Amino acid sequence: MLRGRLHLRTLLLCSVIGAHAVLASPCPDPTGAKAPFTEVETAHRIKVLRRALEVDSKSSQNWKFGWGAAYGLGTSMQLIALPALGAADRIDFVWGALSTGVGVGFVIISTPDVAENGPPFIRKIDTSEHDCALLAEAEALVAKDAVNERDNVAWYNHLLNVAFNAGIGLVLGLGYGHWLSALLNFLAGVAIGEGTIFTSPTKLADAWDRYLLGDLTRPTPSAIQLRPGTLGLSLALAF
């Protein structure tokens, strides 16, 4: 009887130790990891990814509404001014309004995906068990949205910006002979378009790069940031 009890206790003890080992074992490293994650707790990895999603989803929403408002205001002001203009100036303002109207569409299309899918996934993190399945889902989401952010600032977006504004300029110049307006529209359009692209958030992509390197510390924000506003761009201090 004593041997039976000792044997049962031994089995229970081994089961507890085995279960603890399973729970304590780290989750698999993410695809593309350049450093092992064997010493990092699952909950901490999820916390790091959650913060990255939270920070950049807010930045992306601010970028969308800031630039959308700026382009929308520019379009509205040019259209409102049309009745008070002469025929020649009216042509310039119509094409200018078309240009800024396209800018509104560009902002909507190019808003980083994290602005939409970040908040609901953050809520899922806050209401779910922090296990390997949730971690894998978070890593997949951040990796996908990081690629999207890189695409939004890729070289071809700059090329499209220049080509589009050059097209508007050629219409004004070749079509109507308004070469001065063509030049001014081209220069202003390229400058504003480049500002839109260069301020598109990429912090999530940077955070994912650091994550793959095993750097799970909180990044130091830039001292000065360029932010869109309803009347243009503004410099702001970041802490």
DSSP state of 238: -
Mean pLDDT (the chain, rounded): 83
> 207 lies in a domain?
yes
Most confident of 3-17, 110-124, 219-233: 110-124
pTM (predicted TM-score): 0.79
Six-digit token pair at 154? Answer: 């890729």
Distance CA 45, CA 130 (A): 10
Taking residues 12-18, report their average pLDDT.
41
pLDDT tens string 27-84:
888 888 887 877 788 999 999 999 999 999 999 999 999 999 999 999 999 999 999 9
Task: Give me the pLDDT at residue 148, please.
Answer: 97
Question: Residue 85's pLDDT is what?
Answer: 87
* Domain interval for residue 134: 40-153+201-218+227-237
Interhelix angle 87-110/42-81, nearest 10 degrees:
170
Position 230 pLDDT exceeds 60 = no
Considering the chain, what percentage of its residues have pLDDT values greater than 70?
80
pLDDT tens per residue across span 106-164: 999 999 999 999 999 999 999 999 999 999 999 999 999 999 999 999 999 999 999 99
* pLDDT at residue 218, rounded to an integer: 66
Specify if 214 maps to a domain: yes
Indicate the number of domains in the chain: 1
Would 173 be classed as within a structural domain? no
Tell me, yes or no, whether 134 lies in a domain. Answer: yes
Reported confidence tier of residue 20, pLDDT bands at 50, 70, 90: very low
User: Residue 13: inside a domain, yes or no?
Assistant: no
Please check whether residue 164 lies inside any domain of the structure: no
Cα–Cα dist 69/75, whole Å: 10
Structural domain includes residue 231: yes
User: Could you tell me if residue 161 is inside a domain?
Assistant: no
Of 28-32, 65-69, 90-94, 202-206, the one with minimum mean pLDDT is 28-32
Res 219: pLDDT:
57
Q: Quick one: average pLDDT of 194-207?
A: 95
Please state, in angstroms and rounded to a whole number, the distance separating the CA atoms of residues 132 and 27: 5
